[in-house]
Amino acid sequence: MSVPPVVAVVIPCRNDAPFLEECLAALAAQTRPADRVIVVDNGSTDASAAVARRFGAEVCHEPAIGIWPAAARGYDEAIEPAGDRAPADIIARLDADSRPEPDWLSQVVRSFVADASLGVLTGSAEFYGGGPIVNYIGEKWYIGGLYTWVTPWLGHPPVFGSNFAMRRRVWLRLREVVDSTNPGIHDDLDLSIRLRPSDGVRYDPTLRMPVSARPLASPRALWRRLRKVVPTFAVSWPEGAAWHRERPRPDEGDEPLYELPGH
């Protein structure tokens, strides 16, 4: 008998109350609502936690400042039961400045239900808040370059932290190998490096996510992000090198069959 998957959306947040409010409003308008929304308050001094509670989100606090510690805390919370809420079968990830379209979560769930081998699904970005040139650079060079240059090295598409989802089994394996206590690296790139072919990673360009253009607001803002790329690859060396990657393993067969609600 097939059952609908339990989906948790994890949102790390630090002093981003105005962005978070818009993000949670967009989540509330999903055609397929999330079963759980988990906001990780990463030492905020603004109203981020209050905003999250007002929208009915679960709020957990991660005192170690950094996107990786906060994201990992959220993923760990997602795979644990919370009161009458079941552990997640699928963990979806947004950032506070993400603005998911109404069918975003429906598209995510449909993809996992349709393909039992799919372990990680990631999508593209469209930027808001910048001028036409900045937004174009962000989409075509910043995010587009990520997929163009990193995919051949990894052997699979990298995940985009503002727009991806993974099965519980993937995080259960990765949580033991990623460098999630390190705030000086890119969490999504580190996670991408630790993935292997048998995890079943797919990039869907139609899974688009509006995100803020603030990473491109100035050369300094962009540099703060780019300078983390080399350290992220360095912490996984040499086990993260392409020639060290474990080859595909037989299907473990631990995933239940899912159906879409109403089917």
Residue 34 belongs to a domain with what CATH number?
A: 3.90.550.10
Nearest to 8 by CA among 68, 101, 71, 97: 71
Strands (E), 52-118: 58-61, 90-93
Amino acid letter for position 27? L
Whether residue 128 is contained in a domain is answered as yes
Q: Is residue 254 part of a domain?
A: no
Classify residue 31: in a domain, yes or no: yes
H/E/C letters for each residue in 122-162? EEEEEEECCCHHHHHHHHHHHHHHHHHHHHHHHCCCCCCCC
Mean pLDDT of all residues belonging to the chain:
85
Q: Enumerate helices (H) and strands (E) in the chain, giving the number of each.
A: 10, 7
pLDDT at residue 228, rounded to an integer: 66
Give domain status of residue 256, yes or no: no
Nearest to 190 by CA among 240, 227, 238, 152: 240
Q: Which of 64-78, 87-101, 231-245 has the lowest mean pLDDT?
A: 231-245
> Which distant-in-sequence residues (6+ apart) come within 8 Å of 189 by Cβ?
150, 158, 228, 229, 232, 233
How many domains are there within the chain?
Answer: 1
Q: For residue range 130-154, what is the model confidence (pLDDT) as tens digits? A: 777 766 666 666 677 777 778 888 8
Flag whether 262 is in a domain: no
| Bridge-based pairing state of the strands 120-128 and 58-61 | unpaired
Contact 160, 121 (CB under 8 A): no
Question: Across the strands, what pairs with 8?
Answer: 36, 91
Query: What's the average model confidence in pLDDT over 237-241?
Result: 63
Domain that holds residue 216: 7-244
- Do 74 and 40 meet the contact criterion of CB atoms below 8 Å apart? yes
Specify whether the CB–CB gap between 201 and 122 falls below 8 A.
yes
Overall average pLDDT of the 64-73 stretch:
96
More confident residue, 175 or 231: 175
Residue 123 located in a structural domain: yes
Q: Give domain status of residue 58, yes or no.
A: yes
pLDDT at 138: 66
Which pTM was predicted? 0.86
Does residue 207 fall inside a structural domain? yes
Does the structure show a pLDDT above 70 at 259? no
Which residues, including other chains, have CB under 8 Å from residue 184's CB and lie 6 or more apart?
Answer: 66, 228, 231
**Based on C-alpha coordinates, what's the Rg of the chain?**
17
46 has pLDDT over 60: yes
State whether residue 57 is helix, strand or coil: coil
